[in-house]
Amino acid sequence: GMAIEDAAVLAEILLAGTPVVEALEEYRARREKRVAWVQNQSRRIGRIGQLENPAACRVRDAAVRMIPERVSNRGLRKLVSQPI
């Protein structure tokens, strides 16, 4: 999904007639914060998902089941509410 967003942003900038060097800087500036946020969220979720200790996995699974849907969807709502 991020690659599609990247392509859309870069195309938008280039189609506006921005010179390539400036377009790449604008692209980086526009994407930097969103990409960093997604990377950080992915790392956090990945660390939790990669637990191998059976007891830790049971605790994780029980905790995830207890999280209300509105809370677990908070990150997704943040992501889709922001411009790409």
Q: How far apart are CA 57 and CA 34, in angstroms?
A: 30
**Which tokens sit at 40?**
């950080």
**pTM for the structure as a whole:** 0.78
Helix axes 2-15, 20-49, angle to 10 degrees: 170
Q: How far apart are CA 27 and CA 10, in angstroms?
A: 6
pLDDT attached to residue 19: 97
pLDDT (mean) for 57-75 = 92
pLDDT tens string 3-62:
999 999 999 999 999 999 999 999 999 999 999 999 999 999 999 999 999 999 999 999
Rounded to 5 degrees, what are φ and ψ at 33? -65, -45
pLDDT of 72 > 90? The answer is no
